[in-house]
């Protein structure tokens, strides 16, 4: 398909999705739809946010704590991982980049000292390979996480529709 047609098709798809969202908005609010303009800037932050419980949790489930930007465990924007901060108290020194702080019960927000275990990177990898049982049942081979997830709904890579845009 020529590039020009692809662009047209994309534009049509965008328009369909715009109309769809408009229809859903109408169904939900009728004529009293709230003004959506500038909504990114209007959102509640910090203590006003419904997820706020005085701890900041990353999208991966790790808890962040505020530190000074020159703290050795600083990862960006003035934050550090709480589990690595607790580990530094346990060790009496800053954990090195080769030392992974593992959550024993699997809860990445549970940073009680008894739930944390400082492991070398290779030890940690080994632990998770056993833990997560990422072996192919047929061959007994370890399979990569991505492949494992892909196989979950019983389909193979080549059975998925190819995205060409």
Which residues, at least 6 apart from 98, have a Cβ–Cβ distance to it below 8 Å? 120, 121
**Cα–Cα dist 52/59, whole Å:** 14
Which residues, at least 6 apart from 94, have a Cβ–Cβ distance to it below 8 Å? 72, 73, 88
Smaller CB separation from Zn ion, 55 or 121: 121
Range in contact with Zn ion (rule: CB under 5 A) among 18-26, 49-57, 97-105, 157-165: 97-105
If one asks whether residue 102 binds Zn ion (CB under 5 A), the answer comes out as yes
Q: Closest separation between CB of residue 115 and Zn ion, Å?
A: 11
Question: Which residue, judged by CB position, is nearest to Zn ion in the bound state?
Answer: 102
Distances from the Cα of 152 to the Cαs of 32, 131, 137, 155, 161, in angstroms?
43, 18, 13, 7, 16
If one asks whether residue 83 binds Zn ion (CB under 5 A), the answer comes out as no
If one asks whether residue 108 binds Zn ion (CB under 5 A), the answer comes out as no
What are the backbone angles phi and psi of residue 107, rounded to the nearest 5°?
Answer: -85, 110
Range in contact with Zn ion (rule: CB under 5 A) among 14-22, 89-97, 99-107, 157-165: 99-107
Q: How many residues bind Zn ion (CB under 5 A)?
A: 1
Q: Closest separation between CB of residue 95 and Zn ion, Å?
A: 13
Which residues make up the interface to Zn ion (CB under 5 A)?
102
């Amino acid at each position: 398909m020529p590039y020009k047609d692809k662009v047209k098709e994309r534009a049509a798809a965008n328009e369909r999705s715009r109309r769809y969202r408009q229809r859903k908005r109408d169904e939900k609010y009728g004529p009293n739809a709230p003004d959506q303009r500038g909504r990114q800037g209007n959102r509640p932050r910090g203590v006003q946010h419904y997820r706020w419980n005085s701890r900041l949790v990353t999208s991966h489930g790790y808890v962040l704590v505020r530190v000074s930007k020159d703290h050795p465990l600083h990862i960006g924007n003035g934050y550090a991982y709480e589990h690595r901060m607790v580990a530094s108290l346990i060790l009496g020194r800053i954990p090195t980049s080769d030392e992974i702080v593992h959550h024993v019960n699997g809860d990445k927000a549970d940073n009680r000292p008894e739930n944390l275990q400082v492991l070398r990177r290779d030890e940690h990898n080994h632990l998770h390979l056993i833990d997560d049982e990422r072996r192919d049942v047929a061959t007994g081979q370890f399979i990569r996480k991505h492949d494992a997830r892909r196989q979950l709904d019983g389909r193979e890579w080549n059975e998925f529709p190819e995205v060409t845009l």
